[in-house]
Structure 1
Amino acid sequence: MTVDITADAPAEPTGPRADVGTSGDLDADMVAALCHASTRRGFDPFVDIDWDAPENLLDDNDPRWQLDPDIAPLAMTEWYARQPLERRIEMGRWITANILKVTLQFEMMLIRGVIHYAGTLQNGSVVFRYLLHELTDECHHIQMFQELVNRTGDDVPGMRRGSRFLGPILGFIGGYANIFLFIGVLCGEQPLHFQQTLQHRGATAVPPLLNMITAIHLAEEARHIAFANNYLAQRVSAVGRFRRTLYAVAFPIYLRWLIGEMIAPPRAFARQFGIPRRVFKAAYWRSASSRQMLAESAADVRRVAEDLGLYTVWSRCVWRLMGIDGRLPRYRGEPDRSQPLARMAEFRAVTRGRIAAAAIMAGVALGATPVGLRIIAVAAAGTAVWATYHVLRGRRGGVVGNQPFEWPRLAVWVVVCVAMIPAGGLIGLALVVCMVLAVAEYMPTL
Structure 2
Amino acid sequence: MATMTDVEVLRDALGELKDREQVARRLLESSAKHSFDPDKELDWDAPFEDGKWFWPPELVSLYDTPLWRRMPEEQRMALAMHEAASLASLGIWFEVILMQLLVRHIYDKPVTSAHVRYALTEIADECRHSMMFARMIQSGGAPAYPVSRFNHNLARVLKAVSTTPGSFACTLLGEEILDWMQRLTFPDERVQTLVRGVTRIHVVEEARHVRYAREELRRQMVTAPKWERRLTRITSGEAARVFSTAFVNPQVYVNVGLDKHEAMEQVKASGHRREVMQNGAKRLTDFLDDIGVLQGVGRRMWRSSGLLP
Per the shorter chain, which TM-score range?
0.7 to 0.9
Question: Secondary structure at 1:39's aligned position in 2?
Answer: helix
Query: Of residues 297, 301, 307 in structure 2, which corresponds to 1:318?
Result: 301
Correspondence for 2:8: none
Q: 1:240 to 1:276 in 2, by over 3 A?
A: closer
- Partner residue of 1:79 out of 47, 56, 67: 67
| Counterpart in the other structure of 2:185 | 199
Q: CA deviation at 1:210?
A: 0.4
Deviation at 1:67, TM superposition (A): 5.4
Amino acid at match of 2:95: E
The runs of 5 or more residues in structure 2 that have no matched partner are: 1-17
Q: Deviation at 1:265?
A: 2.3
Amino acid at match of 2:302: W
Q: 2:215 aligns with which of 225, 230, 251?
A: 230
Q: Does 1:156 align with 2:156?
A: no
In 2, Cα distance between the equivalents of 1:145 and 1:209? 11
Instruction: Summarize the Cα distance change of 1:41–1:69 in structure 2 as closer, same or farther, 3 Å threshold.
Output: closer
* 1:107 equivalent in structure 2: 95
CA distance in 2, matches of 1:156, 1:239: 39
Give the corresponding residue for 1:278: 262
User: C-alpha distance in 2, partners of 1:123/1:314?
Assistant: 37
8 Å CA contact 1:67–1:75 kept in 2: the answer is: no
- Residue 240 of structure 2 corresponds to residue 247 of structure 1: no
CA contact (8 A) 1:101 1:156 kept: yes
Deviations 1:340-373 (A, max 9, x none): xxxxxxxxxxxxxxxxxxxxxxxxxxxxxxxxxx
1:306 is matched with: 289
**Per the alignment, in what secondary structure is the counterpart of residue 306 of structure 2?**
coil
Q: Does 1:210 align with 2:184?
A: no
After superposition, what is the alpha-carbon deviation per residue over 1:72-94, rounded to whole angstroms, capped at 9, x for unaligned? Answer: 23122132232223322222111
Bigger Cα Rg: 1
Residues 149 and 239 (structure 1), Cα distance of their counterparts in 2 relative to 1, 3 Å cut? same
1:194-230: CA deviation from partner (whole Å, max 9, x where unpaired): 11112234x2010001001100000000100000000
Unaligned residue ranges in structure 1 (runs of 5+): 1-24, 327-446
Q: Residues 330-409 of structure 1 correspond to what in structure 2 (within 5 A)? A: none
Query: Which residue of 2 is the match for residue 184 of structure 1?
Result: 170
* C-alpha contact 1:67 1:88 (8 A) present in aligned 2: no
Contact 1:188 1:259 in 2 (8 A): no
State how far apart, in whole Å, the 2-side matches of 1:39 and 1:97 are: 30
The one-letter amino acid paired with 1:166 is: L
Residue 296 of structure 1: how far off its partner (Å):
1.9
| Cα shift at 1:169 | 4.6
**Cα offsets for 1:164-192 (capped at 9, x unmatched):** 33334533444xx2222111111110111
Alignment partner of 1:294 is 2:287? no
Root-mean-square deviation over aligned CA pairs = 2.3
How high is the sequence identity, in percent, across the aligned residues? Answer: 23
Deviation at 1:69, TM superposition (A): 4.4
Superposition TM-score, scaled by structure 2 size:
0.86
Question: For the residues of structure 1 that align with 2:300 and 2:90, how far apart are their CA atoms?
Answer: 28
- The residue that corresponds to 1:378 in the other structure is none
Q: Does 1:34 align with 2:27?
A: yes
2:42 paired residue number: 49
CA distance in structure 1 between the aligned counterparts of 2:284 and 2:290, rounded to whole angstroms: 10
In structure 2, relative to structure 1, the CA distance for the partners of 1:293 and 1:137 (3 Å cut) is same
Q: Distance in 2 between matches of 1:207 and 1:238?
A: 45
